[in-house]
Amino acid sequence: MFEFISIPTLIKSGFDFQKEYPFESSLILIALVSLIGKLISISLLFSKNILNKKNWIYIGLTLMLISFLFVCYGTWEYDSFLFAITLGSGIPFLMYFGRVLYLINLRTNRN
């Protein structure tokens, strides 16, 4: 939800990196990278071309993982409790990430 809400803010103010808290200003950029990864993954649900699908799945998941790691790194610098909450809430995503990679490799090895 945050990704879609931040798009009008990003269009109005642009990329402003001169703020007092650099993590807050880069949070919109991180959300945009995550949104791109999610849109790639959602669009692949309707794709029929299997040959290019695997590479695009890796790209979409990598963009989402990069944004998650940047959020974790930013919270690490602020507070350890906030980092624990952020990492704990990301465990289902990390499990999904591992499961998708496992199933892709399992399917590739069968063929």
pLDDT, one tens digit per residue, over 43-66 is 888 877 766 788 888 898 899 999
pLDDT, one tens digit per residue, over 71-101 is 888 788 777 888 888 889 889 989 988 998 8
pTM: 0.72
Domain ranges of the chain: 2-110
For residues 26 and 35, give the distance between their C-alpha atoms in angstroms, rounded to a whole number. 14
